[in-house]
Amino acid sequence: MRIIPVLDLKGGEVVRAEKGRRDLYRPIVTPLSQSPDAVSVAQGLRSLHDFRTFYIADLDAIEGRDPNRAALARLKAMPDAPELWIDAAFADAGTLAAALADAAIWPVLGSESQADADLLRRFRDHPRLILSLDFFAEGYHGPASLFDQPQYWPQQVIVMTLARVGAGAGPDFARLRDIKAMAGDRSVVAAGGVRDEADIRALVAHGIDGALVATSLHDGTLTPTQLAALAQR
């Protein structure tokens, strides 16, 4: 199981996500960092475990504002720099191609930001492209053609269940099971609702390859000992 910490960026700071209701997101308060500064929070997370990958949701870019370029540059410059899976509302070929040209970035193509499946079809064979299938409380957000044609999916697919983020409700196992069946031999990563070690082990039993996690790391539910054991599976 690959456990990937989440950094939601807004206004240059890490914010705490709550059920996908982005208007309610506020700067994070965590025992792992004295401030919501992105690098400070990332370093705090690395005090729990030697995380090699971070998922970044650039909420300003996703909501149509200027992206968090300075914070992202500082994360890229960290010692022993991690892979950065970045959702920055990539929606045109030039911006996506530029991100793919940077070896430190694994661009996440969020379904909510797509008008159609053209970008996915064009870039799907790139080994660092990641698809995020985005589900809000009311259901899937994105083009039906992107969801209904798994033959065009890249090798890594995130199932983003935003209504469960920060809700303590557990992963949506039924949805994950269905999408895993559609994905075939692709890697499927769960996002939203992971509460504890039991949830992680249940995801493994469902054939899920990774999990995006935030709250259970900051509140200490997932301990360094558990993280080390889970990473060995």
> In this predicted structure, what is the pLDDT of residue 166?
65
CATH number of the domain enclosing 116: 3.20.20.70
Q: Of 98, 95, 79, 75, give the one whose Cα is nearest residue 6.
A: 75
Q: Per this entry, what is the length of the chain? A: 233
Q: Which residues are 13's β-sheet partners?
A: 10, 37
At 167 the pLDDT is 63
Q: Give the per-residue pLDDT at 16.
A: 81
For residue 92, pLDDT over 90 is answered with: yes
CA distance 87 to 69: 13
pLDDT digits (tens, 9 = 90+) for 207-221: 999 999 999 999 999
C-alpha 233/C-alpha 230 separation (Å) is: 6
Instruction: Enter the DSSP assignment of 52.
Output: -
pLDDT-above-90 percentage for the chain: 83
Indicate whether 134 pLDDT > 50. yes
Q: What share of the chain is helix, strand, coil (3-state, %, to 5)?
A: 35, 25, 40
Number of domains forming the structure of the chain? 1
* Owning domain of residue 30: 2-231
pTM of the entire predicted model: 0.94
Instruction: Write down the pLDDT at residue 23.
Output: 66
171-228 confidence digits (pLDDT tens):
999 999 999 999 999 999 999 889 899 999 999 999 999 999 999 999 999 999 999 9
Is residue 38 a contact partner of residue 8, using CB atoms and an 8 Å limit?
A: no
